[in-house]
Structure 1
Amino acid sequence: MMKAYSTDENAPMDHQRAPTHMSTTILTDLSRNIAADHASIQSPGGVSASLKSLHGGRRNGVQLLDLSDGHFCVSIIPTRGMGLWKARMGDTVIGWASPVQDGPVHPSFVNQAALGGLGWLDGFDEMMVRCGLTQNGPPSPVTDPFAIGLHGVIANRPAHYLAVHELPDRLTVEGHVDETCLFGMNLRMITKITLVKDTRRIEVEDEIINMGNREADLELLYHWNFGRPFLEGGATFDAAAEEVCPRDKTAAAGIRSYDVYDEPTVGYAEQAFFFRLKSDSETSNTTVMLRNKNGDKGLALRFDTRQLPCFTLWKNTAGYDDGYVTGLEPATNYPNPKAFEKAHGRVISLPPGGRHLAVTSLEALPTAGDVERVAHEIARLRGDTKPTLHHAPVEPFAAG
């Protein structure tokens, strides 16, 4: 068993804070042959981190890193691209009940080329999973020598560097995940996932770097997924929408009720809607929210539309055991075939050494007052705008 490596340094955790004494514990650094099996870290302010390895079945060898302030907890999966498995607020679990019940699934059990390129679904059970980095939509054409399956490969790549940065009122987990291939891509994702005590909020800051000597394509989508108790019949989605476009004919049939959810419905066919959202004129920040039927609990997702200009709402109100879930998905592009996205100028081209920053944050809303506060926040962004609803797929959102 390898031990963690600790160091102290004086450095700010972000540009908004004055320099503060910071302690760093390195849990994994393959360049120095550091790989801890377990660890426990406690900040003076009461935020803790706990690393453990899972055993048995398809989760064998998966590492989980839990961040907790005693009231709010989030589980990070370094083995699966630094995704977020589930969160917990008191007795309330935030996430969804995937048909994949033996997860989190080790990437070695996920054959992404299987099922006609849909093998990614074999391991899909996270609250937040990233799609990308060179492609985030449907599988590539099989004629492509570098064909990539559904939603890309980053979610099935383990972190080769993992550290916990400790400040009095917060812990930040830093992970490095590479998407590299000889003759192909050479991208690195540096993620910093932060929990601040007593905020019920988790922030995910990702920087994607082109480590190669050639330009590289970037597509990045954050697949935030939620089920009960936030998702239920009569639950609603709220956003400052300017335009809403169905992805396909199936979604077009539901355009008039795109923002309202059904009870679990056996045989329901998934629907996806592409959005153009309003944002703050100075900061470019926007907020979207999922709230339950009674409006007394919800989830708020915030992001910068300069970093993530495209948003997709995924509705899959199928039978509960078949995966009753909705996805709130900010992204650099819409999850269309890559050729379509490139034709519409939505595939980022990173020069050698180029970087792209993306920050998202999730806030849990446990009371009606919290939900009302965020509803007012969205209403201020919306102003007098009434969204344009397209009743069929139209360009530039989707192929007509």
Structure 2
Amino acid sequence: MTYCNLSDARRYAGSMEQLADARLVELAEGPGRGSRLIEFRNGSGLAFTVAPDRGMDLVDCSFRGIPLVFRAPAGYVSGERYEPQGTGWLRSWQGGLMTTSGLRNAGVPDGEHGLHGRASHLAAEDVGIRRGASGGSYRLEAVGTLRESAMFGEYLQLERSVSTGFGDNSITLCDTITNLAPREDYLELLYHCNFGYPFASPDLEFEAPPHEVVPRDAEAAAGLAEWDRLDEPAPDYREQCFFHKLPEGRIAVLNRKLGVKVTLVWNTDVLPDFVQWKNCLAGAYALGLEPTNASLRGRSADIADGVARRLAPGEAVHTRLEFHFETI
């Protein structure tokens, strides 16, 4: 809860910027030099960044001053450093609250499509920040548009809105993906949400209704009984992935020691599947929670099996992903 309402804020504050704000800044050094960031703070403990030059991804995030997300070793990296072949994506992956995987491949490399596709390395245009009162609340919103396109080839457009509000400890991400090409295409989409230390630790608990959990491979099968427990960091740990057959698009994780709970909510009409990435490797300790429409086996396999979402010329789909942060 916030410490005052909008009416009181207007009576006491010279500007809402002293309580809640979103501002556009630019990185001045390192491999991310020149990249834009939008820094949000909502006035009651939630702070996060959006990276317009990296797919409008959500990167840093903290609640009540507690860091929540996993950040990859590369740090902030310019999208121009993208290595599209094979697993080169990992060299410039920033980690963070949500990395966009897609738009034409999500999962393993597949021919010309590298690991997790190009979306996270695309720079947004029509970037803007909106601030103002709406329906008795004060809202903060960032918008931007991405294009994954090629002459004689694909033309997918993603329009994204990321918003929060004064005293509203949640983030709402809304996407509209449109096929602007004159031919059919296939959409592969995965929202790679990454939690890290100190929030992600052996103290972390999952909150979900009873449901089926399917291991991706033999490594995951060996750890199936403990899918909902994070291990102590180990130097030889091998990542495990699990597919969750959830009855609805909702799952929560909480750390009672820190007194923080995070709930993810998404629309299952476009994102019918959910993947958990468990990586208890020392020095790279991370938990991935990933709403998706992909199998992770690559674009070709998903098209052949009828998994990939068909998009007719001019067709658009809409996704909504929410993060809710609570004190427990």
Contact conserved, 1:234 with 1:262, CA < 8 A, in 2? no
Name 1:213's counterpart in structure 2.
Answer: 182
Matched, 1:47 2:20: yes
Are the counterparts in 1 of residues 235 and 281 from structure 2 also a CA contact under 8 Å?
A: yes
Residue in 2 that maps onto 1:134: 104
CA contact (8 A) 1:233 1:264 kept: no
Q: 2:314 is matched with which residue: 348, 353, 356?
A: 353
How many correspondences in the alignment? Answer: 308
2:7 counterpart residue number? none
Aligned partner of 2:83 in structure 1 is: 111
Distance 2:42 2:257 in 1: 28
- Which residue is 1:306 aligned to? 269
1:258-293 CA-to-partner distances (Å, cap 9, x unmatched) read 1111111111000000111102xxxxxx32112226
Q: Read off the aligned partner of 1:60 and give its amino acid letter.
A: R
Residue 68 (structure 1) aligns with: 41
- Structure 2 partner of 1:332: 293
Amino acid at match of 1:74: F
Distance 1:47 1:311 in 2: 33
| 8 Å contact kept, 2:68–2:200 | no
Q: Secondary structure at the match of 1:340?
A: helix
Which structure 2 residues correspond to residues 12-161 of structure 1 after superposition, within 5 A?
A: 46-70=19-43, 71-100=45-74, 103-113=75-85, 117-124=86-93, 125-141=95-111, 147-161=112-126
Per the TM alignment, residue 244 of structure 1 is displaced from its structure 2 partner at its CA by: 1.3
Q: Residue 188 of structure 1 aligns with which residue?
A: 157
Letter in 2 for 1:94: L
Question: Partners in 1 of 2:84 and 2:207 — Cα distance?
Answer: 34
Q: CA deviation at 1:355?
A: 0.4
How much is the aligned-residue C-alpha RMSD, in angstroms? Answer: 1.7
More deviation in 49-58 or 151-160? 49-58
Identity in percent: 30
Determine which structure has more spread, i.e. the larger CA radius of gyration: 1
Q: Is the aligned partner of 1:259 residue 2:228?
A: yes
**Rounded Cα–Cα distance in structure 1 between residues aligned with 2:291 and 2:274:** 4
With over 3 angstroms needed to count, the CA separation of the structure-2 counterparts of 1:230 and 1:44, relative to structure 1, is closer
Deviation at 1:83? 0.2
1:276 to 242, 245, 249: 245
Aligned to 2:260: 297
- The match for 1:282 is none
Quote the Cα distance in structure 1 between the aligned partners of 2:219 and 2:55: 31
Contact (CA 8 Å) 1:133, 1:179: kept in 2 or not?
A: yes
Q: Secondary structure at the match of 1:176?
A: strand
- Residues 67 and 199, structure 2, Cα contact 8 Å, conserved in 1: no
* In 2, Cα distance between equivalents of 1:118 and 1:194: 32
- Structure 1 match to 2:197: 228
Please list the CA deviations of residues 194-232 of structure 1 after superposition, one character each: whole Å capped at 9, or x if unmatched. Answer: 112212100100010111111111011000000112211
Contact kept in structure 1, 2:24 and 2:38, CA below 8 Å:
yes
**1:377 match:** none
Query: For structure 1, which runs of at least 5 residues remain unmatched after alignment?
Result: 1-41, 142-146, 280-285, 368-400
The amino acid across from 1:210 in the alignment is N
Structure 2: tracts of 5 or more residues without a match = 1-14
Amino acid at match of 2:162: I
Q: Matched residues in 2 for 1:360 and 1:127: separation? A: 12
